[in-house]
Structure 1
C-alpha cells in the first residue's frame, strides 16, 4: 500500500517536534561492543559523529518540508538522499564491532582530504596551491587497520541488518536525482512519441513522488534518532 502523503507529512512534523526535546542529551553511553571499556578518542569520535549526523538529518528534513511547501519537489530530492545516507551511516556507526566502523569513517574523511590536498597542489591557480598547507585532517595513518570501509556506501548498506541491497537500491534511486544525470534532464521534458521531440515541461516533474520522498524522510529521522537514543539510553525517546 502506498503511504498517504498527508499522514506521512504529519508524522514528519511530529518527529521534528519530539526531536527538539531530546537532541541536546548531555549523557552518552558506549555501544554494546564497547560497553565497560575505557573511553578512547575513537569512542568520542563515534559519539560526536552519531550526534552530528542525527542533528543534520533532522535539520535537512525541515528543509525538505520547506521545499515541498514552495513547490520544489525535485530540488528537495537531493536533501532526502542526504538525510537517508546520514541516517544509515549513524546506524552503521553504532552497530559496527569494536572500533572498526568509526575508524573507517575517519579514514574516509582523511582520505578525501588528502586527495583534495594533492589535487589543490597541482592547480594552476596560486591561490589553491598556497592554501594547501592549511588543509587539516589529511593523515590516514591513525585510522589504518579497520575491517570496515566507508568509501562505498554500498558497503555500509551491506553491513546493516536489515539493509543490504534493498537499502542501497533506495539510495541509488534518490542519488540519480542528486547529480548531473539523464534522470535530472528528464525532469524537464515529457516523454516523446517514437521518433518525436520531447516537449518541455513548465515545471520539473518525475521524481519518485512526494509520497515516497516523505516516507524516506520519516524513515531517516527514525533511524538516526534511534542511533542517537541508543547512545543516550533514553527509554522515553
Structure 2
C-alpha cells in the first residue's frame, strides 16, 4: 500500500476517495497530516473563490472528532480561511449552514457509519454539493505536493446552530399522526432526530438515542444486523407505523 510521508506528517494517500476522504486515525493519518489536509483544502477553496473565504466546519460524535477538527481548522486558518465552527452536528447540517449563513465552503469531520477508529472529512465548495471526483483529485495533488497558500485567517464559534437546524425542519408538519421508532445507534443523530420527528407531529419511540461514542449496542450502521433485529422487536412491541433508522452521523452525496 503506497503512502505519502512528509516531515512530521503522515498521510495514507489511499484515504482520498471519490467524493470524500477517510482514514483510520491515527494509524493512517496523524495530527500533522490532518493539518496538511486543512492547508490543502484551504488553498483549493481560495484558488476557486478568489477571496478570503468563510468556511463552515462541524464534527460528529466520536471521542477524537473534535481533536481532528481542531487540527483541520489550524490548517484552514493558516491559508487565510475564516472558519465558522458550528460544533457537534450532522453532516447535512453543515450543508444547510452554508446556505443559511451564506458561506463559501464546508468541511465536516465525520466517520459516517464506520466503526470507531475511523475518521474522515466531507467537503464542498459549490452550495449543496460535496467535492466531485475531479475536486478530490485536485485536493490530493495539492496535499501531496504541499502547494499550500499562506495567509492569516480566523475562527469563531457559532453557538446553538443545531437548534436553528432543528427548528427549520420542524416547520414541515404532517397531517396524520404516525408512531415512529427512531433509532440513532447512540450516534450524533440522537440529539437531532427525536426532536425533529416529534416536532413535525409524530409520536416517537426512541431507541438508542442517548449519545455514547463507544457504541455499546452495535456498529453504528443502519445495515448492521443487530440493529435491524432490535428495530424489529421495538416495532412489534410498540405497534409502530414506521422506522427511522439513522447512522452514527448521517451523510449525503
Q: TM-score range by the shorter chain?
A: under 0.3
Q: Which has the higher strand share?
A: 2
Bigger share in helix: 1
TM value normalised by structure 1: 0.23
**Bigger RCO (CA 8 Å, 6+ sep):** 1
**TM superposition score normalised by structure 2:** 0.22
